[in-house]
Amino acid sequence: MRIRAGRQSRPEEIGPVGTPPGESGRPRVRPSESTDEAEADKGAPDSGRGPNGLELDAAQRAAADHLAALLDRRGRPRRGSGGVYLHGPPGRGKTMLMDRFSATASTKRKRRWHFHEFFAHLHAAATTTSAVGDAVTRLIGDAELVCFDEFHVHDIGDAMLIARLLDALFDRRVPLVVTSNYPPADLLPNPLFHDRFLPAIARITERMTVVALDGPRDYRRLRAGDTRHRATEPVVPGGLRNSWADRAQIQGAPTEGADLCTGFAAGDYLAGAAPSFAGVTVVRVGVREFTVRSIDNRTLAADFAELCGAGLSAADYVALAARFERWIVVGVPRLCSVPPDQVMRWVNLVDVLYDADRMLTVHAAVPLAELATGVAPVAGVADLGRTVSRLYEISHDGDARAG
């Protein structure tokens, strides 16, 4: 990635997309990727409880039981046990269940990716080898458990690569856990190409237990409006503190024992006027350039039109998320007013930042409840419901609970 301010040009290196996940290019190590010996000896999880003793609802308990069946009595992955395909609307706890399951599996040889990130690495690996199987081997190594979050198929070219990826994983007889907003039958929904993916769908349903997690509650929306430990001043680069604990101290909020927001959840969704920035900077990622409002060692502030209108790919967002911990996106419009490709990039950007656990502050033209109103349901944009659900996690609008 190259950053240029004014006439000066100075290259700046970030973790390359081609770096295998879990190494220097990984934005964050999820708890499910822990290699700590104590984690490896926990055994199978209690299927009635979630993280921090959270009680699971009936659908979540049933899904947890299916996941637990992939482990033996010692909590080790059962080779040849197939896998579990968890699907359902956003905010039902699919990712929470998968991460909880992976974190308690008694093996250090486990891999967990958001699908955007894995696919970026798969594309990079595939450019240096002629066989998808070889590329998969480079990425999963000797893994005894593989987990993909937000599995989706929209593009026919990607679909053919994904079909070969699934064949390679199933041939290894490694348990596979997948979360998705789509049941298998709805993958690659474009009627022009859907029939070409039917053999892959058949393999998914034959090899994996398909579990619907489709309860009536979006738990992220239920949490929206919780302002217990949120800061209230505008978030701009000059006002960012070293930590949210620092900000709580300044405002007189408790810090010891407080459940302070961190990462993505420490962000904000604000409707109305955006902060002003002095000057602009040109950033180059891959072969593309775009202009940002402000940039420093940890923070990137940019317009929606630049981030989502410059032709950036999900792989570009993965590379940028590896470099910048805090993101400020200004000028986010009512999404029905922009082309579908920009909406799709917004979906990808929020996905990447959410999984990388990067702090995101959004300055939008309309309240969150109105952001996606009127957007046509075309391929890729269908995932917008997940994006809105995730943004509710950083919304503290008092009316959000009813949304």
* pLDDT exceeds 60 at position 176: yes
Cα(1)–Cα(16) distance, integer angstroms: 9
Summarize pLDDT for 251-290 with one digit per residue, the tens. Answer: 333 334 444 567 998 999 999 888 888 778 888 887 888 8
Task: Tell me which H or E stretch contains 14.
Answer: none
181: its two tokens: 């907003």
What is the percent of the chain with per-residue pLDDT over 90, rounded to a whole number? Answer: 40
Residues with Cβ within 8 Å of residue 336, at least 6 apart in sequence: 372, 373, 374, 375, 376
Residue entry with tokens 């302070």: 260
Pairwise pLDDT comparison (332 vs 8), residue with the higher score: 332
What is the percent of the chain with per-residue pLDDT over 70, rounded to a whole number? Answer: 73
Give me the pLDDT at residue 48, please.
60
Give the chain's mean pLDDT: 77
Task: Tell me which H or E stretch contains 308.
Answer: helix 304-309
Least confident of 43-57, 191-205, 288-302: 43-57
Least confident of 9-18, 60-69, 88-97: 9-18
Give me the pLDDT at residue 52, please.
54
* Side-by-side strand order, sheet with 359-364: 268-271, 359-364, 326-332, 299-303, 294-295
Domain boundaries, the chain: 31-212, 219-402
Closest-CA residue to 56 (of 96, 104, 16):
96
pTM (2 d.p.): 0.67
Termini Cα distance of the chain: 39
**Helices 94-104, 58-68: inter-axial angle, 10-degree rounding:** 30
**Helices 384-392, 340-355: inter-axial angle, 10-degree rounding:** 50
- For domain 31-212, the question of CATH label 3.40.50.300 is answered with yes
What is the number of other CB atoms lying within 10 angstroms of the CB of residue 108? 14
Give me the pLDDT at residue 40, please.
38
Cα(261)–Cα(268) distance, integer angstroms: 11
Give me the pLDDT at residue 361, please.
96
313: its two tokens: 């790919």
